[in-house]
Amino acid sequence: MKAILLLALQTLFFVSLFAQKNDISIDTDHKELNEIFVWAKRKARSFVVTGKRGPVNIHQKNQESATVSYLPSYWAGYPLRTAFYSRDFCHQAIGAHLLGLEAENFTMLRAFAASATPSRKWFPLWAINFDGTPYTLDYKNDDNFVREIPAVFELVEKNAQLYDWTKDQRYLTDSALRQFNAKAVSDFVLAHDLKNPNGVAESDGSGNIFKGTATYNEHRDQTLIEAGDGIGSQYQAYMAFAKLSELSGENAQARIYNEKASALRNYFNKEWGIVDNKELYNRGYDKNNLPVAGWGKENSWFLPLKEITDPRSDRHLKYLNYIDEQLGSKEGLPENIEAITYVPELFFKYGQNERGWKWLKYIISKINTVHAMATLTGNNGDYPEVSFVLISNVVQDMMGVNPGEKGNAIETCPHLPKELGRVKVSNVKIGQVLYTVEQRAISETILSYTGGEAVQYWQAGFPGSHLYLYCNGKKIKSSIGEKNGITYSYIDVKITGDKQYRVTTQL
């Protein structure tokens, strides 16, 4: 018996050593960023409940419940509530992947997908207990439960993104995911496009979250039947479903949904988003099918966030300015910190690095501030979304590290602000490969293969037009691309073994 116990302890010790050795970590010349990244890792992992037992359906202090076994999962929502929420999960999932929570991501996504049924008109549950049952605070019956349209489409988008990061075939083959994705972009849209039949999923316009709303913005200034975050997320769902279809060998279906995505985007930029709006964008339509402009928080910033706006247009650039101005005002700034966690990604996405960094620093500065819903959360840093998203903000959004488009590949394109001279992140996992990436300003990237499959491909990119890039001192003619309206230069590098590769814009 002692020998078995000793062996078990030794096994746990070596597993722990392996996890520490391969754990994502940061090294930068910015002391506060170093410290906050370490804090975010520790804080996010404190929300993991995998392998634990505990209560369900808790939503207030001193409430009692039976004790049950929890699924592989993590807190995604208010820490007082024993559940994970679809909106929060979608925003936390990439950060969770970077932290190694692959089993949790798949289990949670599948739970949402499996909860969408014909009797619920293909809406997934808004919140699920850690044991996989409906969270009863937000679910009474199949006609009376919280539901918000953007979450349906974000779950489809997240499926494609998690496949890109993990290469886990279950994201392509699992029957619950396949059914949900297919229904979300077809039957769901048809069932929720009745008041204004235009191909855009809609709500009843009551503003009652238990009947379904068009937007994530629950602090609404007026009710909408169609909303900017809904149509933007629907566009991304079409794109994601087309990609998943192509990866599954269903090329005809992929073409159909790529065409649907293109048509929806054109409809937005030529009609839905600009009717009676000479300067900026409409953010929704009311019960009388009249366009609604002005500031709507999520239903405003989700438009460029989901890339449905035309990034080459003056209107788009003015709208980014408008968003920054509104967030900078007392009236326009959301009270809940988790809403603001979308903002750094938005600005980094469009090459507005100083604005992205400004809002990331704002979030960091408010971590120890009392949350707007303090009785459910405590301080801002106690809301799970803050720590999880901070990880992805640094690695994916600011450092520009992403899975490559094909096979075993990684792409980089830096978005470092001027205040940061150097940021290095070790053990970024894509598929079964670990990478270490160091960005020096926006002119030099150093990449190391840490472990995994031996042959990889790296698309090393930089903002701007550069006729040549230099790999380990060798001059290579670059290719020119455009993403989100930003011109960038890149070369493709084949990497093998443990060699270090350095690509620069000049010698």
Is residue 101 over pLDDT 90?
yes
Asked if residue 8 has pLDDT above 50, the reply is no
| Average pLDDT score over the chain | 94
CATH number of the domain that residue 493 is part of: 2.60.40.1180
| pLDDT greater at residue 223 or residue 134 | 134
Note whether residue 330 is domain-resident.
no
> Is pLDDT above 70 for 99?
yes
User: Which helix (DSSP H) or strand (DSSP E) does residue 447 occupy?
Assistant: strand 444-451
Does a structural domain hold residue 276? no
Look-up of token digits 């093998």: 496
Q: In the Cβ-directed half-sphere of 49, how many Cα atoms lie within 13 Å?
A: 24
The pLDDT of 44-59, averaged and rounded, is 97
What is the predicted pLDDT for the residue at 219? 76
Is residue 453 pLDDT above 80, yes or no?
no
488 in any annotated domain: yes
The distance of Cα 496 from the centroid of its chain, to the nearest Å, equals 30
Residue at 415 is within a domain: yes
Closest CA to 144 of 190, 211, 191, 91: 211
Return the pLDDT at 20.
55
DSSP state of 17: H
- Inside any domain, residue 436: yes
Q: How confident is the model at residue 379 (pLDDT cuts 50, 70, 90)?
A: very high
* Per-residue pLDDT tens digits for 232-255: 999 999 999 999 999 999 999 999
Which is nearest to 463 in space by CA: 444, 435, 476?
444
If you average pLDDT over residues 300-307, what whole number do you get? 98
As a whole-number percent, the residues of the chain with pLDDT over 90 amount to 89
DSSP code, position 134: B
CA–CA gap between residue 19 and residue 145 (Å, rounded): 40
Confidence of residue 4 (pLDDT cuts 50, 70, 90): very low
pLDDT digits (tens, 9 = 90+) for 102-129: 999 999 999 999 999 999 999 999 999 9
Residue 143's pLDDT is what?
96
Q: How many domains is the chain built from?
A: 1
- Please indicate, yes or no, if residue 283 is contained in any of the structural domains: no
User: Strand pairing of 226-227 and 144-145?
Assistant: unpaired
Instruction: Write the pLDDT tens digit of every residue in 477-495.
Output: 999 999 999 999 999 999 8
Element (H, E) at 471: strand 468-471
| Per-residue confidence (pLDDT) for residue 218, from 0 to 100 | 86
| In the predicted structure, residue 9 carries a pLDDT above the cut 50 | no
Range of the domain at 500: 409-504
Mean pLDDT for 354-373 is 97
Q: Which pLDDT belongs to residue 223? A: 86
Weakest mean pLDDT among 40-54, 162-176, 327-341, 395-409: 395-409
**158 within a domain of the structure (yes/no):** no
What pLDDT is recorded for position 117?
A: 98
The verdict on residue 251 lying in a domain is no
